[in-house]
Chains A and B, each alone.
Chain A
Amino acid sequence: MATIAEYVEARELAKALTLREIRGQYKGSILGWLWSLLNPLTTVLVFSFLFAVLRAPAPVGDPSGLKFYALYFFTGLVPWNFFSATVSGSAGSLVNQGSLISKVYFPRAIVVVSKLGAVGFTSLMEMTVAVVLLLIAGNMVLPWLPVIVLLLVLQSCLALGIGLILSVANVYFRDVGHFVGILLQMAFYSAPIVYPIGLVEQKLGADRLWIYRLNPLVDLIEAYHHVLDDQRWPSFGWLAYVAAWAVASLGLGVLMFNRFEPRLAEEL
């Protein structure tokens, strides 16, 4: 089990591995990280087109400072991508770095942390684009940036904890990786990204909405919508609930990772 001091010692390696992830990803491509933006933008276009064809009223939530469905979708999609890419990337990370792990000693969680770092970098780019688009649309989100940073940190803890657990599990059972893909797809539709939370409220009734909100992803994404789309405070009660999940996930992740860390090199 690696000590805290070792992690401090290895920060240089964490930095180098993160940079390697980022650079390796876009090496040799002309558009570079623009590709990572093109991906969510395409999704947004496809869904907007769908709603236009169906002549459905753009579901942007109520009350909402936004008129464009595409923008509403985008502000939910960016944090979602951060979460989902971190979780799925972490799941495979230890196995992918097998050659490194079996040849050098370093605190192994660095691999998962640097994955988070690399995905976080891409997500910051996307978030910057989202903020610019919102400013163009007339939403003054700049004063709210500290809240967004706070949300990003909260979400990082949640994703990191899950990532730590999945990364070890995937060493022992390789199909965890595939399984995660399917779960994430389901999770995507479980949160108010494609649709506003009001839609669920209509179907479920206001007094039973809490069942839906038990999923911590719901209020995480909803908080982004509140801050980015409408510039209002998210529900603190539910945010505390999300934070509890984040702390629990990180705690469990660290526990489980430390337990299996010593045998990783031989199981890979």
Chain B
Amino acid sequence: MSAPSEPAITVDHVSKRFRRYMVKNQSVKSALFKRSRGTYEENWVLDDVSLDIPTGSTYGLIGSNGSGKSTLLKCMARILKPDKGSITVNGRLSALIELGAGFHPELSGRENVYLNGAVLGLKRREIDQRFDEIVSFAGRQVSEAIDQPIKTYSSGMYVRLGFSIAVNVEPEVLLVDEVLAVGDEEFQRRCHQRFEELSSSGRTVVIVSHALSTVAAMCDQVAWLERGKLSHVGNPQQVVDSYLTRLDFGNAAGAGGPASPARALPDVRITDITLDGVGRPLDHTTTELGEQVALVRSGQSVRLRMGYETDQAVPTPVFALAIHTLDGTLAANPSTLATAMPEKVDGTGVVELEVPSLMLVPGAYTLGAAILDAGGEHAIDKKLRLVRFEVAGADPGEVRGIVALNGRWGGSLLGGSGSGSGSGPGPGAGPAR
């Protein structure tokens, strides 16, 4: 094993491009006549990625579909060769790019264990030693069918056996792509346990997954890849949170963004969204990623503001604001649907909502806005989850749920006969004002 200070994997300015064929000539005839193997464009799937993965850590890789996670993993596993840069791996590596790679359907489970072990670099004797453990880890169904051909296995059993082999060969570096979600509840629990055992015995585990909460809980560090570039690296919860925030923003931006350039600009557009304190300015807090976000005390009075602009005068639409929790639950959605407004809007302007008491429990939230047509049915412009902010609690006894009632406890135990009246304006969570 390598010295503890040395990273298990060093990714040094790695770039990788793929050829994407417009017309792929895979027959000799077309190649001869057209003198090429088809027209293709080259796209950089990894663009100057540099990473150090510390020995003994559990490392997560997240990012949207097609962002290059699997490609990076395959480069680490030497399945693909980077076009630029280099990757150094210290220690024996085993990659679980897909479960049961190299299983042969006609052979029995037993024969396949030996074959798969050899594929992962084990000597026959080493597999002999681990055989019982592998089979028992895979579970009862598998051990009963170990001498049956693999093709008779259920897909879950197939997955269990493949996974069991990969984690039981005890690699010094284990790469896992998208397998946390497979297998039933009980098996998943055992997988996590095994990951922990591996990392506590100094093995390095690199996990690619879309199961963000699991990644946040299991990993020591998380890297976020976006279109082949490294976007953030660092504390798991922080990276996952800002990934979620950006993800939603990215989707909403598609409405008027570069994704659909042909589409006409809406008549009314949201220009910006802000959040301010009423009376005194809001505090700020810095996330570990270096982002400055507003910090609101639960129950503090705030002003939410959206700016708009129009190209010409249009009939007055409905303005709405939306507060989401990070896991996507809509916490509040006030709108001007029932508010008297002038006939038309023109030019630029702002719409404000003054909230006397922001009744949210401590946590991270996002603020977004939408402009809807006069009936409030169709969105003209929408920018959801654009501004992230945090809420700090006044009462440590009230941290779960979404709404903070900010009440006062009373009753005989507490001496008073208090009527626990909150400081908020009551249940008026509908259209405000």
Q: Chain A residues in contact with chain B, CB under 8 A?
A: 9, 12-13, 15-17, 19-20, 23-24, 27-28, 99-106, 172-176, 179, 262-263, 265-266
* CB nearest to A261 among chain B residues: B81
How distant is the Cα of A16 from the Cα of B111 in the complex, in angstroms?
9
How distant is the Cα of A209 from the Cα of B27 in the complex, in angstroms?
37
Given that A174-B26, A176-B28 are known contacts, is A16 also in contact with B101, CB under 8 Å in the complex? no
A24, A101, A174, A262: the one within 8 Å of B104 (CB): A24
In the complex, are the beta carbons of B118 and A172 less than 8 A apart? Answer: no
In the complex, are the beta carbons of B124 and A12 less than 8 A apart? Answer: yes
Q: Chain B residues in contact with chain A, CB under 8 A?
A: 18, 26-29, 31, 37, 74, 77-81, 95, 97-98, 101-102, 104, 106-107, 111, 114-115, 118-124, 149
B37, B101, B104, B120: the one within 8 Å of A172 (CB): B37
In the complex, are the beta carbons of B119 and A13 less than 8 A apart? Answer: yes
How distant is the Cα of A157 from the Cα of B178 in the complex, in angstroms?
42
How distant is the Cα of A202 from the Cα of B106 in the complex, in angstroms?
51
How distant is the Cα of A176 from the Cα of B77 in the complex, in angstroms?
30
In the complex, are the beta carbons of B18 and A266 less than 8 A apart? Answer: yes
20 more CB-based (< 8 A) A-B contacts, given A104-B119, A175-B27: A12-B118, A16-B118, A16-B119, A20-B111, A23-B107, A27-B106, A99-B98, A102-B74, A102-B97, A103-B101, A104-B95, A104-B97, A104-B102, A105-B95, A106-B119, A172-B37, A174-B26, A174-B27, A175-B29, A262-B81
Chain A residues, CB < 8 A from B98: 99, 103
Interface centre among A9, A17, A174, A266 (most CB of B within 10 A): A266
Given that A12-B124, A104-B79, A173-B31 are known contacts, is A20 also in contact with B107, CB under 8 Å in the complex? yes
How distant is the Cα of A100 from the Cα of B97 in the complex, in angstroms?
10
Chain A residues, CB < 8 A from B122: 12
In the complex, are the beta carbons of A105 and B79 less than 8 A apart? Answer: yes
A-B CB contact pairs (8 Å), 7 listed: A16-B115, A24-B106, A27-B149, A99-B101, A102-B74, A103-B101, A266-B80
* CB nearest to A170 among chain B residues: B26
Interface residue SS majority, chain A: helix
How distant is the Cα of A5 from the Cα of B122 in the complex, in angstroms?
16
Task: Give chain B nearest CB distance to A87 CB in angstroms.
Answer: 17
* CB nearest to B116 among chain A residues: A16
How distant is the Cα of A255 from the Cα of B78 in the complex, in angstroms?
20
Chain A residues, CB < 8 A from B124: 12
Chain A residues, CB < 8 A from B120: 104
In the complex, are the beta carbons of B28 and A175 less than 8 A apart? Answer: yes
Given that A12-B123, A265-B74 are known contacts, is A20 also in contact with B104, CB under 8 Å in the complex? yes
How distant is the Cα of A23 from the Cα of B37 in the complex, in angstroms?
38
In the complex, are the beta carbons of A105 and B78 less than 8 A apart? Answer: yes
How distant is the Cα of A106 from the Cα of B77 in the complex, in angstroms?
10
In the complex, are the beta carbons of B111 and A23 less than 8 A apart? Answer: yes
Task: Give chain A nearest CB distance to B15 CB in angstroms.
Answer: 14
Given that A23-B111, A172-B37 are known contacts, is A103 also in contact with B28, CB under 8 Å in the complex? no
In the complex, are the beta carbons of B28 and A179 less than 8 A apart? Answer: yes
In the complex, are the beta carbons of A15 and B77 less than 8 A apart? Answer: no
In the complex, are the beta carbons of B79 and A102 less than 8 A apart? Answer: yes
In the complex, are the beta carbons of B114 and A16 less than 8 A apart? Answer: yes
* CB nearest to B37 among chain A residues: A172
B95, B107, B111: the one within 8 Å of A103 (CB): B95
In the complex, are the beta carbons of A173 and B26 less than 8 A apart? Answer: yes
How distant is the Cα of A102 from the Cα of B81 in the complex, in angstroms?
12
Chain A residues, CB < 8 A from B107: 20, 23-24, 27
How distant is the Cα of A12 from the Cα of B175 in the complex, in angstroms?
22
How distant is the Cα of A12 from the Cα of B80 in the complex, in angstroms?
22
In the complex, are the beta carbons of A265 and B80 less than 8 A apart? Answer: yes
Chain A residues, CB < 8 A from B77: 104-105
